[in-house]
Amino acid sequence: MSKFLPEIAIIFGTMIWGATFMWVKEGISYLDPIYFIGLRFLLAFIFLLIIFPTKRNLSKNEIKIGVLIGITLLFAYITQTIGLKYTTISNNAFITGLFVIFVPFVSFLFKEENISLITILGTLMAAMGLYLLSFSGSGIGSINIGDLLTLLCAVLFAVQIVLVGRYTKKYDPVKLLIVQIFTVSILALFISFIMGTYTFSLKYGAIKSITLNAILGTAVAYYIQNKFQHKMPNTKAGLIFSLEPVFAGIFAYIFKGEVLSFTQIIGAALIFLAIVIIQVKGIKQNIESAREVI
């Protein structure tokens, strides 16, 4: 059981992120998206400081790397949000999900992993699954500035995943997480104040959404990512993260009454199959390594 704990933990974190779609949708109905991001990450930062009071002594490297990852994550959220203003929701969802394709290639460029044929097959299968989930046969249509911004968002999420995988092997994952979350919160709030989109009057719905997203969707989920992702290949982590729209669809069905179409169910099945393929490859490698030792 403990052997598969990292995979189980990452799946649980991805499930939380799947649930955040409902909470975010409610939150941005009350607040500007960037201001919402700032408040969400600020509360998460405060929560992490309370839970981990001994993690406040940071080295210069931990600060620099945490800020780097935080800036990457911030612009991933900003480009996704602004991109949504100029493109359709389905285009935004699918193109964001293309981080699954970018992770192995970004990882290769960072000299973290080689790209195997099985990895390419699993990645393409997951991408097709995301397409079926998001578009449900409606087609992509013409490319516009919103699509391009969202494409940049997908690249940035892939870079963030690879950076977390690299540096949490060398430095304290919790310390990096705290700096990362603080960076996103401060920069997002600064942008909101410059743009004049902030407000000090918060309704109950906004407070509830911010709290759920901050505690579960940010502090807990990103803690899981920082704690466990480095214990598996970045490509495998990226494929597990692609389960996010699957969980989002399940929660939407349970709590919002939304029903997945047959095409979307096929898409979800393809994503699960892609993860199984990569997982089986990992198990075979472990067996071969054990035989060599014997």
Q: Is 1 helix (H, G, I), strand (E, B) or coil?
A: coil
CB 178 within 8 A of CB 52: yes
Instruction: Work out the angle between the directed axes of helices 204-212 and 5-27 (0-180°, nearest 10).
Output: 160
pLDDT, position 275: 72
Report the percent of the chain where pLDDT is more than 90: 38
Average of per-residue pLDDT across 65-75: 96
**What's the token pair of residue 79?**
């480009």
Taking Cα atoms as reference points, which of 46, 79, 92 lies closest to residue 160?
Answer: 79
Average of per-residue pLDDT across 82-97: 72
Distances (CA, A) of 188 to 45, 78, 102, 223, 257: 13, 9, 25, 20, 33
Residues 263-282 as b or e (16 or more Cβ within 10 Å = b):
ebeebbebbbebbebbbebe
Instruction: Name the band, by pLDDT with cuts 50, 70 and 90, for residue 183.
Output: very high
pLDDT, position 293: 40
* HEC profile of 134-203: HHCCCCCCCCCHHHHHHHHHHHHHHHHHHHHHHHCCCCCHHHHHHHHHHHHHHHHHHHHHHHCCCCCCCC
pLDDT digits (tens, 9 = 90+) for 122-181: 888 888 887 787 665 555 555 578 888 888 998 999 999 999 988 988 999 999 999 999
Give the Cα separation of 196 and 61 in Å (integer): 34
Mean pLDDT over each residue of the chain, to the nearest integer:
84
The dihedral through the CA atoms of 135, 138, 140, 145 has a sign that is negative
Average of per-residue pLDDT across 73-101: 79
Q: Which domain holds residue 186?
A: 2-293
Taking Cα atoms as reference points, which of 139, 103, 138 lies closest to residue 119?
Answer: 103
Q: Residue 85 pLDDT more than 70?
A: yes
Domains contained in the chain, number: 1
pLDDT, position 294: 42
**What is the gyration radius of the CA atoms in the chain, in angstroms?**
19
SS3 content of the chain, % helix, strand, coil (to 5): 80, 0, 20
Vertex 14 angle, CA 10 and 19, to 5°: 150
234 Cβ contact list (under 8 Å, min separation 6) = 103, 104, 107, 112, 113, 161, 162, 165
- Per DSSP, the chain holds a count of helices (H) and strands (E) of 13, 0
Taking Cα atoms as reference points, which of 165, 175, 182 lies closest to residue 232?
Answer: 165
* Bigger pLDDT: 289 vs 196: 196
pLDDT digits (tens, 9 = 90+) for 224-269: 998 998 888 887 888 888 888 788 878 888 887 777 778 878 887 8
